[in-house]
């Protein structure tokens, strides 16, 4: 079905690519219908004696048969091999419309000899030939065709018939029958062109049996006609998968190809065979033979002669020659199995290596022999010595010797003398390969362990370095805190005491100098507060915390006392650098301190989240709020909100303040991750 589809598709492609070719119209009689893909009709017209071969592209197919008068419309074209490989002709006719007009008897055929078939001017003629069917085979490349060989008085005639008209099983029944075949002289196509011409049978009327085959073993079944089967009686001395070798009463060895391979006789049995005789390189051969077992006792097998392979195959320059006196004689040889068990099972042959020469042993007919065979086993083989020759003898004086085959007669003729040693070259190679792979695996594993240990060592070193750096930071912060407390803090305390003393000495605070001193005292108080916060930050370990909510809790605890604090902070600590975490905690602390000190808040909430590379957090309280337009700034000694804005600005962030008097305050800050302007400390 697939072949038909693609063939029709290719034909339609040919029509499309060539513009539907040259149109034609004809009326004629169908001589033959070939059930190919696509269907082919052979139509006889008065203008062309050899007729037209037309490829039917109509869909659906018109119902017609041999003898119908039809009217055909279509196109003619020259297909290329790439477009339509199924059409072998230089110019092909394609039918796109077929109309059946009437029906008539087929014309009379003329007798054709082998010489007539080979003449070019006879191509396409309708002929008949009389002879005996000596062979029936399937087509090796097209399962829809079968072939038969007709032996005539002038030679062998080849004829082709479709499986649809003449099934293979039915044609096999015509072996040895006298028939008349009718058909058209046709030429092989493509790479078979040089095989000559043949007859294509037309329709189911292409074969007429003039004398049935009858009993192939009847002595006088066909008179003295030499083309019929020949009867030979003898003893089976050897057999292979497709041949039987028998020795007749004249001690001649005859090769027999049975038509039925299912029930082959055993060596020593007496048989009568009826087959078609032909000459081979080593004598008479019978093909398509029927085999009958005779009612005689089985003969003992002939004793095998021990033969050296040097005698079997004598070297002659570059070729081997065979000792002709050993043909058909039972011989005994020894050698080692050179091919694998799988090859023996598939081919049915043992390649026996004997003194650096190879001898084939055919064991396809011996069941279960290959089960005990291994490559390298030493065998002793008894069997019939059969030389093989090239079938193509057209360009040489003698057939070319192709090799020697020993055909064992029974299972006992193949004997294992010694099994191969376990330590074979193949196994040695396998062990070497395994050791090499193991060594490579050890080296790879060692390298992996080295890389892993180096990686773990670097990780441990990094951890130790980080721990040391952290400890150094803590020590340095502590040292700086002590220095600030012992120096700057003490100085600021002294200045504050002096300002308080100046104000307390009776200076009028409403005077200009008094106002300046009051402002200075306020600014100094704010500065001292900031310094205390810095000292606390330097001495605290809050920035080493891995959990930000815990770090916020510890940071705010000293400043808000027992005021309720609610924290919801969904920002992983691993995403923040140390400086960013420091700035964020300082901002949150400053906002919380302002909520307690200035807003008188009784509840503080801290929220935080991360979106992409932006950290957004909010500090919200329920304090008294303030008026942003009238809020005090650095001029009045208040640096908190101004400092927060500077930290946010260094981070390229944004700060949003929402507050109303009596409604609390909400401050939201957004910082960019990765922005490291300033150290924040």
- Residues 31, 202 contacting (CB under 8 angstroms): yes
Instruction: State whether 547 and 645 are in the same domain.
Output: yes
Residue 465 has pLDDT above 80, yes or no: yes
Q: Is 148 inside any structural domain?
A: no
Asked whether residue 23 falls in the same domain as residue 58, the answer is: yes
- Least confident interval from 42-56, 498-512, 574-588: 498-512
Residue 450 falls within a domain, yes or no? yes
CATH of residue 646's domain is 3.30.565.10
Structural domain boundaries enclosing 236: 230-293
Last residue of a domain, one of 83, 107, 131: 107
pLDDT, residue 215, reads 84
Q: Are 621 and 633 in contact (CB under 8 A)?
A: no
Residue with tokens 């011989």: 331
What's the angle, vertex CA 123, arms to CA 119 and CA 127, rounded to 5?
A: 95
User: What's the mean pLDDT in 529-540?
Assistant: 64
Structure tokens at 540: 């605290």
CA distances from 20 to 78, 87, 92, 620 (A): 11, 16, 12, 88
Contact 376, 339 (CB under 8 A): no
Confidence of residue 521 (pLDDT cuts 50, 70, 90): confident
CB 297 within 8 A of CB 266: no
H helices within 256-407, ranges in order? 309-312, 341-347
Residues 410 and 440 in one domain: no
Residues 6+ apart with CB under 8 A from 228: 132, 176, 221, 222, 276
210 pLDDT band, cuts 50/70/90, is very high
pLDDT of residue 129: 93
Confidence of residue 677 (pLDDT cuts 50, 70, 90): very low
Instruction: Give yes or no: residues 463 and 359 share one domain.
Output: no
What band does 681 get if pLDDT is binned at 50, 70 and 90?
A: very low
**Residue 371 and residue 284 share a domain:** no
Per-residue confidence (pLDDT) for residue 158, from 0 to 100:
92
Provide the 3-class DSSP secondary structure of residue 500.
helix
Identify which of 522, 604, 602, 519 has the alpha carbon closest to the alpha carbon of residue 556: 604
Lowest mean pLDDT among 13-17, 94-98, 654-658: 13-17
Same domain, 524 and 403: no
Is 335 domain-assigned? Answer: yes
Q: Of the residues 107, 137, 168, which one is the last residue of a structural domain?
A: 107
667 is a domain residue = yes
The helices-and-strands tally (H runs, E runs) of the chain is 11, 31
Q: Which residues pair with 665 in a beta bridge?
A: 621, 659
Same domain, 557 and 532: no
Domain limit, last residue, from 357, 389, 418: 418
Could you say which DSSP state residue 222 is in?
Answer: T
* Beta-bridge partner residues of 351: 360
The confidence score (pLDDT) of residue 533 equals 66
Domain count, the chain: 5
505 plus 599 within the same structural domain: no
pLDDT value of position 74: 92
Closest CA to 232 of 273, 289, 200: 273
- Residue 10 or 634, more confident: 634
Is 219 domain-assigned?
Answer: no
**What tokens appear for 415 in the block?**
């004997």
In a domain, 87, yes or no: yes
pLDDT value at 536 more than 50: yes
Per residue in 554-574, pLDDT tens? 888 877 888 899 999 888 887
Residue 398 binned pLDDT confidence (cut-offs 50, 70, 90): low
Tell me how many degrees the CA angle 388-392-395 measures, rounded to the nearest 5: 125
- 253 to 182, 229, 248, 481: CA distances (angstroms): 39, 18, 7, 121
Residue 51: pLDDT band with limits 50, 70, 90: confident
Helix (H/G/I), strand (E/B), else coil: 188: coil
Helix (H, G, I), strand (E, B) or coil at 28: strand
Question: What's the pTM value of the predicted model, to 2 decimals?
Answer: 0.55
* 430 C-beta neighbours (distance < 10 Å), count: 11
- pLDDT on residue 314: 60
Average pLDDT over residues 215-239: 74
- In three-state secondary structure terms, 444 is helix
CATH number, domain containing residue 95: 2.40.50.140
How high is the pLDDT of residue 150? 92
| Alpha-carbon span 370 to 374, nearest angstrom | 8
pLDDT band at 374 (very low <50, low <70, confident <90, very high): confident
Q: Does residue 379 fall inside a structural domain?
A: yes
Q: Which helix (H) or strand (E) holds 535?
A: helix 512-539
Highest mean pLDDT (candidates 9-18, 130-139, 640-649): 130-139
* Radius of gyration from C-alpha coordinates of the chain: 55
525 and 589 share one domain: no
Q: Are residues 612 and 559 in the same domain?
A: yes
Query: Is a pLDDT exceeding 70 seen at residue 315?
Result: no
How many other CB atoms are found less than 10 A from the CB of residue 17?
Answer: 14
In three-state secondary structure terms, 232 is strand
Check whether residue 258 and residue 320 sit in a common domain: no
Together in a domain, 571 and 661: yes
> Does the pLDDT of residue 579 top 80, yes or no?
no
Q: What mean pLDDT is predicted for residues 606-610? A: 91
Summary mean pLDDT of the chain: 80
Q: Is residue 181 part of a domain?
A: no
Mean pLDDT on 95-116:
89
Q: What is the mean pLDDT of residues 582-593?
A: 85
87 backbone φψ class: left, alpha, beta (φ>0; ψ -120 to 50): beta
pLDDT at 562: 85
């Amino acid at each position: 079905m697939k072949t038909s589809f693609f063939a029709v598709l290719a034909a339609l492609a040919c029509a499309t690519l060539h513009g539907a070719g040259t149109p034609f119209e004809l009326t004629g009689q169908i001589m033959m219908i070939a059930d190919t893909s696509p269907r082919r009709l052979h139509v006889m017209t008065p203008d062309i004696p050899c007729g037209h071969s037309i490829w039917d592209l109509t869909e659906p197919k018109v119902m017609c048969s041999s003898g119908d008068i039809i009217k055909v419309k279509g196109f003619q074209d020259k297909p290329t091999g790439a477009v339509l490989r199924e059409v072998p002709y230089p110019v092909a006719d394609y039918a796109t419309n077929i109309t059946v007009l009437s029906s008539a008897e087929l014309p009379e055929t003329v007798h054709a000899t082998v010489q007539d078939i080979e003449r070019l001017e006879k191509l396409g003629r309708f002929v008949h030939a009389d002879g005996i069917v000596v062979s029936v085979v399937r087509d090796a490349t097209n399962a829809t065709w079968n072939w038969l060989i007709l032996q005539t008085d002038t030679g062998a005639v080849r004829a082709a018939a479709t499986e649809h008209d003449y099934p293979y099983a039915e044609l096999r029944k015509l072996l040895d029958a006298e028939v008349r075949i009718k058909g058209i002289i046709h030429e092989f196509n493509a790479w078979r062109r040089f095989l000559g011409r043949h007859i294509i049978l037309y329709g189911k009327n292409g074969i007429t049996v003039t004398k049935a085959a009858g009993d192939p073993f009847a002595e006088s079944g066909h008179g003295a006609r030499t083309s019929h089967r020949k009867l030979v009686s003898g003893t089976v001395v050897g057999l292979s998968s497709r041949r039987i070798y028998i020795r007749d009463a004249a001690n001649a060895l005859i090769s027999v190809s049975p038509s039925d391979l299912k029930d082959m006789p055993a060596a020593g049995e007496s048989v009568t065979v009826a087959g078609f005789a032909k000459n081979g390189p080593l004598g008479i051969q019978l093909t398509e033979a029927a085999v009958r077992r005779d009612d005689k006792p089985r003969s003992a097998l002939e004793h095998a002669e021990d033969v050296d392979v040097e005698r079997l195959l004598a070297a002659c320059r570059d070729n081997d020659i065979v000792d002709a006196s050993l043909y058909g004689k039972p011989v005994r040889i020894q050698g080692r199995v050179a091919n694998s068990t799988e090859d023996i099972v598939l081919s049915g042959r043992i390649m026996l290596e004997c003194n650096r020469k190879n001898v084939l042993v055919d064991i396809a007919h011996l069941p279960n022999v290959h089960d005990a065979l291994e490559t390298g086993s030493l065998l002793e083989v008894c069997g019939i010595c059969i030389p093989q020759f090239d079938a193509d003898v057209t360009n040489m004086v003698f057939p070319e010797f192709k090799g020697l085959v020993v055909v064992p007669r029974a299972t006992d003729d193949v004997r294992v003398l010694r099994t191969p040693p376990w330590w074979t070259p193949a196994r040695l190679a396998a062990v070497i390969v395994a050791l090499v792979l193991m060594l490579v695996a050890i080296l790879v594993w060692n390298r992996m362990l080295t890389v892993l240990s180096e990686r773990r060592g670097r990780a441990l070193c990094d951890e130790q370095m980080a721990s040391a750096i952290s400890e150094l930071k803590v020590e340095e912060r502590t040292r700086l805190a002590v220095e600030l407390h012992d120096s700057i803090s003490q100085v600021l305390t002294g200045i504050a005491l002096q300002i308080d003393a100046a104000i307390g000495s009776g200076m009028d605070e409403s005077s200009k100098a008094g106002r300046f001193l009051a402002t200075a005292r306020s600014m100094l108080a704010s500065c001292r507060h900031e310094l205390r916060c810095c000292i606390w930050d330097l001495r605290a370990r809050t920035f080493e915390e891995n959990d930000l909510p815990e770090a916020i809790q510890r940071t705010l605890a000293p400043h808000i006392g027992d005021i309720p604090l609610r924290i919801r902070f969904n920002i992983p600590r691993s995403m923040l650098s140390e400086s960013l975490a420091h700035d964020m905690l300082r901002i949150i602390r400053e906002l919380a301190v302002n909520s307690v000190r200035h807003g008188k808040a009784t509840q503080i909430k801290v929220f935080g989240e991360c979106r992409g590379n932006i950290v957004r957090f909010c500090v919200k309280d329920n304090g008294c709020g303030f008026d942003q337009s009238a809020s005090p700034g650095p001029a009045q000694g208040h640096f908190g909100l101004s400092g927060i804005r500077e930290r946010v600005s260094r981070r390229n962030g944004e700060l949003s303040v929402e507050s109303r008097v009596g409604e609390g305050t909400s401050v939201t800050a957004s910082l960019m991750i990765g922005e490291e302007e300033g150290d924040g400390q």
